[in-house]
Structure 1
Amino acid sequence: MNEFPSGASAPRRKIGIIVQRYGVQVNGGAEVHARMVAEQLAQRYDVTVLTSRALDYSDWKPYYAEGPSEENGIRVLRFNNKMREPRKVQGYYGRKARGRHLVQKLHRALGAPGWFTKLFPNAAITDEDGMRWLEAQGPAMPDLLTYLKEKEQEYTAFIAFTALYYPGALSVLTVPQKSIFIPTMHDEKAAYIHFYRKVMAAPAWILFNTRAEQVFSQKLFPIAQVQQRIVGVGIDLLRDRLQPDASVLGALNIKRPYLVYVGRIDSAKGCDVMIEYFLRFLKETGAGLELVLVGKEMMPVPEHPAIIRTGFIPDERKDQLMLQAGALIIPSLYESLSLVLLESFGCGVPVLANGRTEVLHDHIEASKGGWTFTDYDTFKAALEDVVAQRDTKEKGEAGYRYVRDRYSWSTILGYFDEAISDIEARNR
């Protein structure tokens, strides 16, 4: 695979950003986070993104061409990747790697005798099980790991995103002394895979998105000796630079006050519950309210005149839809930061978030920038506030101040500079 030609300007420290998917067409939270960091760091470092050819996380089917390309002025190097293996295979290795296989349960019930292990070697939890689970889930990219071994000395540091997937988890094991890990870890089944104890202990630095993520990780993994910091991400205060453009709403036939959801439209993100609650609210109240869904559909969405589906749209249109919304809804049970919540606050727009998610609950409580819901009744109460415009402006202002004061890029980039300089000093 050909490398990029060197520029004529003075050499800058070379940084590799590793993420499972990359591109303006990709709207996953960690992937958008990686793109934002890449574009910001490129102003002061020589940045190359190392990623897969995949566009869709559901199968990792290769979409982009292999090799070097450019995306929004950022150099991207794409490696061949395998497609996701069947759920049955993922499930087997997931259970095995967490010690939840039937043979392993029986082994523990008997007091873990040695004779049982000799008869049934698969009763043990092995690193191979964790590796196989990561390979089955994908996107498996063995060529990436080979590249890292061969080119390690050319890079000052590597910033790897997301513990959940093969590229991030295995890259920190391949080049641990040069790795800055952004694990986006939260309390889900995968976090209890034993192999992650090894992964999380490997990098030189871990940059957490929130205090909740750090506390959870410190309880679960042996990471006391790893340099750590809570960093998050810088947020563009859209309200300061954009004026509302009503033509965007007109083009989508949005005629009434509306709520907006941004991200994968997926039951795994709680979208089925959100839509069920929204339609029930309309039926009970007759409110003149619409729900705008922005993102790729990964589940059936009911046909209803109050539900508007935009599919994938450019960032400029997405920003306008957030800027002019009555509120943003986030129904997800699993979040490590919630970039879209912070973006909504940067628009001065309040957020209705799933209160069962610790990160979302903490953001809302700390900012006073919206509402949380845990069931239909609390969801309904929040929507009644939105329809009546009860304290919505005050909540929007509170969220805006929260982001302005805590998530400036100058502060965030300073944290990255610190970690990169430390790794450089260690590896001289």
Structure 2
Amino acid sequence: MNVAFIVPRYGAEILNGPEHHCRLIAERLSAIHKVEVLTTCASDDATWDNAYPEGTDRIRGVTVRRFANAESRDAAAFEACSERVFGTPHSAQDEELWLRRRGPWCPALIEYLEQKHRTYDTLIFFSGLHATTVQGLRVHPKRSILVPALRDEPALGLELCKEIFSLPAGIAYTTTVERGLVRSRFRVRAQAEDVVGCGVDLPHGLDPLQPEPVDDSDEDDEPADGNGWNAPTRGALFRRRHRLFRPFALCTGRVRPGKGCEELIEYFGRYAAQQGDAELALMGVKLMEIPDEPFIRLAGTLAENNRLEAFGAATVVLAPAPRDSLALHVLEAFAAGTPVLANARSDVLTDHCQRSDAGLYYADGDEFVECLQLLVGNAELREKLGRNGRRYVAEQYSWQAVLDKYEQLIAAVAPRRSTRATGGRSRGGQSRPRRGREPRNR
């Protein structure tokens, strides 16, 4: 099969959001199908400035075609347009203008898709509320699969969203929460849909049913495996490298307002004021001022090949974002056997914690302090939650399970021929695209 992924931006250095999700799926499916990525030349989703050269590139075995954006985002114009479409009666043209102002605006990509769409058996669009998706879905909806990456936000009230969910032949939801949100708001006409999410690797040699490896900081250093994991010295090398000698709570991703980071630092200050022993390790690009507090450790950025090592080294992984569509970092923490403390305002985060029984969540500062004290101070609880998290990932988010679901969706919308030389069956067996597997409640 020839499969095209259409996504607003794409690059190995993008380690969050639907773009990261798209790359992980594209790289895995490239071992099965002929995969191309159609994207813009932007690297920054705040400006959509063209940063990469136009043309064809090759990233980790995947062909990437980049098209230049016709304009960058004008923040003032976008804000004014948002006020109009969200606050006053408006027309369909106003919503189309809002889509353009939001960005990216890339007529060259859409023109290429209009000319070449017949060369692809399936078109997979990531991130619903961008022009690359909305305009692209209109080109060949019967061969299109949408990965919405939606959160509950004012934009869902736009008439434009009704069109988005009336077009694609297939929908790959990221979470059960997202599927419930979409079904409660829109009439879905897709012939195939499923909750798919993103695959997560368990560290090599780690049995999800066994207790966590013992951490012994006095042991001699031993080389970690390909996932940065070493059972006898779980996390010791990472902690030494970053001089994290006390228990620490890890927060990864971009540190910026709107992601719950300001509130997190305030709440952690309350924990520290009550003689809390753990440190707060921030690993990610800093896009806001960080207060000079003794409990905060600025530990640089987190490389992709060190993610499981970092999550395994942490005492607790924090998920402070009030809105999250994917929560891949939470699943990676579960895979590493580390419990999560999440913001209860995020339905996605609380759903993962409840279904996995591998994390706690807080609604205010008092609950944050109480939960963090409990997790840091109770090794037996951490081990139990860690074991639950590893089991949850192994059962629901293994790469084989995720790729099987994509194979079923592709088979449902692509021309009538087998996706492999297997008589039309995926690795998971007979394709049954409408019946998504619900995560097992615990």
- The TM-score range, normalised by the shorter chain, is 0.7 to 0.9
Give the AA of the match of 1:89: A
Contact 2:319 2:340 in 1 (8 A): yes
**2:217 matches 1:232:** no
Q: Give the match for residue 406 of structure 1.
A: 396
Structure 2 counterpart of 1:125, from 91, 115, 127: 91
Q: Distance in 2 between matches of 1:383 and 1:84?
A: 42
Structure 1 counterpart of 2:314, from 314, 318, 325: 325
Contact 2:238 2:310 in 1 (8 A): yes
Q: Distance in 2 between matches of 1:235 and 1:318?
A: 11
Unaligned stretches of 5+ in structure 1?
1-12, 105-123
Pairs within 5 Å for 1:49-64:
49-64=37-52
- State the shift of 1:305 in Å: 3.2
Contact 1:51 1:78 in 2 (8 A): yes
Evaluate the alpha carbon distance shift between residue 84 and residue 307 of structure 1 in structure 2; reply closer, same or farther with a 3 A threshold: farther
Deviations 1:222-257, CA, capped at 9 Å, x for gaps = 214553211112111126362145333233222211
Q: Distance in 2 between matches of 1:397 and 1:218?
A: 33
- State the shift of 1:357 in Å: 1.3
Pairs within 5 Å for 1:100-179:
100-101=87-88, 104=89, 124-126=90-92, 128-179=93-144
Contact 2:252 2:302 in 1 (8 A): no
Contact 1:385 1:392 in 2 (8 A): no
Q: Give the match for residue 182 of structure 1.
A: 147
Structure 2 counterpart of 1:46, from 34, 48, 62: 34
Pairs within 5 Å for 1:276-295:
276-283=266-273, 285-295=274-284
**2:78 matches 1:93:** no
Q: Distance in 2 between matches of 1:248 and 1:327?
A: 15
**2:240 matches 1:255:** no
Q: Distance in 2 between matches of 1:354 and 1:169?
A: 31
**2:69 matches 1:81:** yes
Q: Distance in 2 between matches of 1:234 and 1:70?
A: 22
Evaluate the alpha carbon distance shift between residue 83 and residue 341 of structure 1 in structure 2; reply closer, same or farther with a 3 A threshold: farther
Give the AA of the match of 1:64: Y
Q: Output the TM-score relative to the length of structure 2.
A: 0.84
Q: Distance in 1 between matches of 2:283 and 2:155?
A: 27
Q: Give the match for residue 355 of structure 1.
A: 344
Contact 1:68 1:77 in 2 (8 A): yes
Q: Distance in 1 between matches of 2:271 and 2:304?
A: 30
- Displaced runs of 4+ in structure 1, greater than 6 A? none
Pairs within 5 Å for 1:213-228:
213-228=178-193
Q: Distance in 1 between matches of 2:67 and 2:300?
A: 27
Find the residue that maps to 1:55 and give its secondary structure: coil
Deviations 1:358-406, CA, capped at 9 Å, x for gaps = 1111111111101000000110011101221351111111111111111
Q: Give the match for residue 266 of structure 1.
A: 256
Contact 1:148 1:175 in 2 (8 A): no
Contact 1:162 1:169 in 2 (8 A): no
- State the shift of 1:280 in Å: 2.0
Q: Distance in 2 between matches of 1:320 and 1:20?
A: 29
Contact 1:188 1:334 in 2 (8 A): no
User: Sequence identity of aligned pairs in percent?
Assistant: 30
Evaluate the alpha carbon distance shift between residue 354 and residue 85 of structure 1 in structure 2; reply closer, same or farther with a 3 A threshold: same
Of 307-316 and 327-336, more deviation after overlay is shown by 307-316
Find the residue that maps to 1:63 and give its secondary structure: coil
Contact 2:338 2:386 in 1 (8 A): yes
Contact 1:96 1:125 in 2 (8 A): no
Of 168-177 and 142-151, more deviation after overlay is shown by 168-177
Q: Distance in 1 between matches of 2:75 and 2:142?
A: 34
Unaligned stretches of 5+ in structure 2?
207-226, 419-442
Find the residue that maps to 1:238 and give its secondary structure: coil
Find the residue that maps to 1:174 and give its secondary structure: coil
Q: Distance in 2 between matches of 1:187 and 1:372?
A: 19
Q: Give the match for residue 16 of structure 2.
A: 28
Give the AA of the match of 1:63: A
CA RMSD, 1 decimal? 1.9
Give the AA of the match of 2:43: L
Q: Give the match for residue 370 of structure 1.
A: 359
- State the shift of 1:292 in Å: 1.4
- State the shift of 1:174 in Å: 2.5
Q: Give the match for residue 212 of structure 2.
A: none
Find the residue that maps to 1:57 and give its secondary structure: coil
Q: Distance in 1 between matches of 2:95 and 2:2?
A: 31
Q: Give the match for residue 171 of structure 2.
A: 206
Evaluate the alpha carbon distance shift between residue 84 and residue 299 of structure 1 in structure 2; reply closer, same or farther with a 3 A threshold: farther
- State the shift of 1:289 in Å: 1.4
Contact 2:200 2:335 in 1 (8 A): yes
Give the AA of the match of 1:315: E
Structure 2 counterpart of 1:342, from 331, 335, 357: 331
Contact 1:201 1:226 in 2 (8 A): no
Q: Distance in 1 between matches of 2:49 and 2:300?
A: 20
Find the residue that maps to 1:97 and give its secondary structure: helix
Deviations 1:124-175, CA, capped at 9 Å, x for gaps = 421x222211211111111110010011011111111111222223221223
- State the shift of 1:336 in Å: 2.1
Instruction: Give the structure with the higher percent helix.
Output: 1
- State the shift of 1:194 in Å: 1.8
Give the AA of the match of 1:137: R
Q: Distance in 2 between matches of 1:253 and 1:56?
A: 31
Q: Distance in 2 between matches of 1:427 and 1:133?
A: 40
Q: Distance in 2 between matches of 1:345 and 1:165?
A: 31
**How many residues are aligned here?**
392
Contact 1:94 1:193 in 2 (8 A): no
Contact 2:193 2:409 in 1 (8 A): no
Q: Distance in 2 between matches of 1:264 and 1:92?
A: 26
